[in-house]
């Protein structure tokens, strides 16, 4: 891209060339020195209070927070001064309900303790009954082993013997009757009757004896062994039942104790929750922990967002939301975002000069206190500078902007374009007899300033008004970028831009196949700032990009206070 130099400017350049020739100096070398890299590197920052305090909405028991009254943004407050009032109707009802539930839980706990004592008393009786049953079983088994088994054997033997005796008796009676009737003169009919009865008695005795013998055999061979087995099993079952009853009683008690403990713990939890709720209720009026300015919302690296979230009466809040930030006026420090290209100039302990944007002519001495080892976001490094306010003590306002000037650690290497210009000027320096208007010299870009010399290219102009000046075009071309929210990359985008002669910019943006035309754009060379006006699907936006070493970056703050960063580099 080229631009024509006005005739009056060319006349002034020719005058400088002729004057330098007449005085015996070499203007090209002088201009080359002016185009050399600056002695300092300037980085914009913000005055940050070292003791800022955030007021957050927190609570385990409360779930609803609505602003009733809030201190105005920018108000100066004292420590322990009320700054935020929340509505209490919801939490007051929650406390009343919790108190009623706690009373019911207390009564339920008393009832549970009473029933547990009754349970313990019943268990003692059950344990005694189980013990008695087992002892009876043991006694019965011992009785069988010591008495009953032997008695059953003796009884079987006696029954068999008694049956034998009975048979023997009736047989003898029959034999005697037969002898007696043979010698006696009783009638034949009487003899038959008596003998018949005696024979029947013998027959009955024989039958009973056979039964007694069989019963004796069964008792010895079957009943006694079976009874012994059954008695052994009976005492074993009684012992098992006894042990099972004892275990059941023990487990029942443990279960009841656990249930009672759970109920007790739940009651204690209800009491703790009620106490927490009452404590949280006290925080519905928040006080400033320190004296300072009241800032609505959270600060972003010491600075206020471009679009702070409005806080007013009736606005609902969410948990862990920063509602207010109390910013003391001292002590102050400077927080910077350092790019990778600037990092070599920024070292811990380096002495710097700090200039407030409000008081730009008052220099303050400072020193780099810390520099992060890794970027905090993208390619930006965190830097803290401590300084002495001097004459501006008590006049600096936290969250306002400033400029920090660092010594340039390698001014020679950054002055290479000027060195080339100087060499070119030596080869074309005027000599006696040569028209000074035909000599070429190097001058800085017409819009360049000391603060932006390292980002603008020098222009080569001649005394010929027809020669066009070549100006740097760092904007035109294809760009690729990414969108980060809270340090996390969420999307990518493409830009196709073209820089016009009047520094206006046209082009388009695209993301995920959707194109967004640039309504209007402007590149401010002196500030290395690119402003684009685009109409996105969510509404019009005007992002301001800062050009820094071939990187365009912009920061946008949403209505909810979320910081969105756009970063793009050329393909």
For residue range 5-62, what is the model confidence (pLDDT) as tens digits? 343 433 343 333 333 333 333 333 333 444 456 789 999 999 999 999 999 988 888 8
Tell me what the pLDDT averaged over the chain comes to.
Answer: 79
- 129 and 223 fall within a common domain: yes
Q: Report the CATH number at residue 185.
A: 1.10.287
Instruction: Name the percent of the chain in helix, strand, coil, to the closest 5.
Output: 45, 30, 25
**Same domain? 26 vs 6:** yes
Nearest-angstrom CA–CA distance, 124 and 220: 45
Per-residue pLDDT tens digits for 387-409: 999 999 989 999 999 999 999 98
Predicted confidence (pLDDT) per residue in 343-386, tens digit: 999 999 999 999 999 999 999 999 999 999 999 989 999 999 99
Same domain for 220 and 324, yes or no, is no
Q: How many domains does the chain have?
A: 4
pLDDT at residue number 486: 65
The alpha carbon of 166 is separated from its chain's Cα centroid by a whole number of angstroms, namely 103
What's phi and psi for 455, nearest 5 deg?
A: -110, 5
Residues 45 and 30 in one domain: no
Q: How far apart are the first and last CA of the chain?
A: 19
Question: Are 542 and 435 found together in one domain?
Answer: no
Same domain, 236 and 110: yes
Where is the domain boundary, 281, 315, 350? 281
Specify the CATH number for the domain of residue 502.
2.40.128.120
Quick check: is 468 in a domain?
Answer: no
Domain span including residue 362:
40-85+289-407
In this prediction, residues 97-117 reach a mean pLDDT of 93
Q: Quick one: pLDDT at residue 559?
A: 59
- The verdict on residue 7 lying in a domain is yes
Tokens 């029954």 locate to: 159
The answer to whether position 472 is within a domain reads no
Q: Are 444 and 485 within one domain?
A: no
Q: Is residue 56 part of a domain?
A: yes
The more confident residue out of 465 and 13 is 465
Note if the bond before 331 is cis, omega within 30 degrees: yes
Quick check: is 197 in a domain? yes
Report yes or no on 467 lying in a domain: no
The predicted-structure confidence for 489-531, as pLDDT tens digits, reads as follows 888 889 999 999 888 999 998 887 788 888 899 999 878 899 9
Report which listed range, 59-68, 189-198, 433-442, 449-458, is most confident: 59-68
Q: Which residues of 35-67 are buried (b: 16+ CB within 10 A; e: fewer)?
A: bbbbebbbbebbbbbeebeebebebebbeebeb
In this predicted structure, which of 30-44, 193-207, 244-258, 435-449 has the lowest mean pLDDT? 435-449
Do 135 and 241 reside in the same domain of the chain? yes
| CA–CA gap between residue 353 and residue 388 (Å, rounded) | 10
> Are 364 and 390 within 8 A, CB to CB?
yes
Amino acid 234: pLDDT? 82
**CATH number of 335's domain:** 2.40.30.170
The pLDDT > 70 percentage for the chain reads 80
- Largest distance between two CA atoms of the chain: 208
The answer to whether position 141 is within a domain reads yes
274 and 161 belong to one structural domain: yes
Confidence band, pLDDT 50/70/90 cuts, at residue 184: low
Phi, psi angle pair for 568, to nearest 5°: -140, 145
Indicate whether 120 and 239 sit together in one domain: yes
Residue 458 has pLDDT above 90, yes or no: no
Mean pLDDT across the stretch 105-130? 90
Please report the pLDDT score of residue 359 as a whole number: 93
Which of 281, 297, 327 is where one domain is finished?
281
CA triple 524-528-532, angle to 5 deg: 55
pLDDT higher at 145 or 4: 145
What band does 412 get if pLDDT is binned at 50, 70 and 90? low
The answer on 295 and 200 residing in a single domain is no
Confidence of residue 460 (pLDDT cuts 50, 70, 90): very low
Both tokens of 282, joined, read 């006290």
Distance (Å, whole) CA 327 – CA 50? 9
DSSP β-ladder status, 332-338 and 322-327: unpaired
In sequence order, the β-bridge partners of residue 516 are 509
384 and 416, same domain (yes or no): no
Of 361, 376, 407, the last residue of a domain is 407
Q: What is the mean pLDDT of residues 418-443?
A: 39
Judge whether 377 lies within some domain. Answer: yes
Least confident of 159-163, 300-304, 561-565: 561-565
Q: What average pLDDT does this structure show over 156-169?
A: 80
């Amino acid at each position: 891209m080229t631009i024509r130099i006005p005739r009056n400017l060319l006349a002034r350049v020719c005058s400088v060339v002729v004057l330098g020739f007449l005085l015996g100096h070499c203007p090209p070398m002088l201009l080359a020195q002016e185009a050399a890299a600056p002695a300092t590197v300037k980085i914009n920052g913000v005055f940050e209070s070292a003791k800022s305090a955030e007021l957050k909405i927190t609570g385990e028991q409360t779930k609803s927070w609505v602003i009733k009254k809030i201190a105005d943004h920018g108000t100066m407050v004292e420590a322990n001064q009320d700054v935020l009032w929340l509505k209490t109707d919801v939490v007051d009802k929650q406390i009343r309900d919790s108190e009623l539930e706690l009373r019911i839980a207390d009564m339920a706990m008393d009832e549970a303790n009473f029933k547990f004592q009754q349970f313990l008393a019943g268990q003692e009786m059950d344990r005694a009954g189980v013990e008695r049953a087992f002892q009876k079983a043991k006694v019965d088994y011992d009785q069988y082993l010591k008495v009953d088994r032997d008695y059953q054997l003796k009884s079987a033997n006696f029954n068999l013997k008694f049956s034998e005796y009975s048979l023997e008796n009736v047989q003898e009676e029959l034999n005697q009757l037969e002898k007696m009737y043979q010698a006696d003169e009783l009638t034949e009919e009487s003899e038959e009757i008596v003998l018949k009865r005696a024979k029947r008695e013998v027959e009955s005795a024989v039958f009973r004896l056979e039964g007694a013998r069989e019963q004796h055999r069964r008792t010895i061979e079957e009943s006694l062994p079976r009874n012994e087995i059954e008695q052994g099993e009976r005492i074993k079952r009684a012992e098992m039942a006894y042990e099972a009853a004892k275990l059941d009683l023990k487990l029942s008690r443990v279960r009841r104790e656990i249930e009672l403990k759970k109920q007790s713990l739940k009651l204690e939890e209800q009491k703790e929750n009620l106490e927490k709720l009452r404590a949280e209720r006290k925080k519905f009026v928040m006080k400033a922990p320190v004296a300072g300015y009241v800032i609505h919302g959270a600060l972003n690296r010491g600075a206020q967002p471009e679009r702070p979230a409005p806080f007013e009466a009736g606005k609902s809040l969410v948990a862990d939301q920063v509602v207010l930030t109390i910013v003391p006026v001292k002590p102050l420090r400077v927080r910077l975002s350092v790019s990778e290209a600037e990092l070599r100039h920024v070292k811990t302990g380096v002495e710097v000069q700090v200039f407030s944007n409000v008081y730009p002519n008052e220099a303050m001495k400072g020193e780099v206190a810390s520099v992060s080892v890794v970027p905090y976001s993208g390619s930006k490094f965190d830097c803290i500078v401590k300084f002495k306010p001097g004459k501006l003590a008590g006049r600096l306002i936290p969250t306002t902007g400033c400029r920090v000037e660092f010594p340039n650690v390698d001014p020679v290497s950054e002055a290479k374009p000027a060195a080339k210009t100087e060499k070119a000027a030596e080869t074309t320096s005027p000599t006696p007899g040569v028209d000074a208007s035909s000599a070429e010299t190097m001058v800085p870009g017409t819009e360049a300033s000391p603060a932006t010399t390292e980002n603008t290219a020098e222009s080569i102009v001649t005394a010929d008004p027809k020669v066009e000046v070549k100006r740097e075009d760092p904007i035109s071309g294809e760009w690729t970028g990414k969108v980060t929210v809270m340090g996390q990359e969420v999307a990518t985008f493409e830009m196709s831009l073209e820089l016009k002669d009047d520094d206006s910019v046209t082009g388009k943006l695209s993301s995920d196949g959707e194109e967004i035309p640039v309504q209007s754009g402007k590149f401010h060379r002196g500030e290395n700032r690119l402003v684009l006006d685009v109409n996105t699907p969510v509404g019009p936006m005007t992002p301001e990009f800062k050009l820094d070493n071939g990187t365009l970056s912009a920061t946008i703050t949403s209505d909810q206070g979320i910081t969105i960063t756009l970063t793009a580099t050329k393909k």
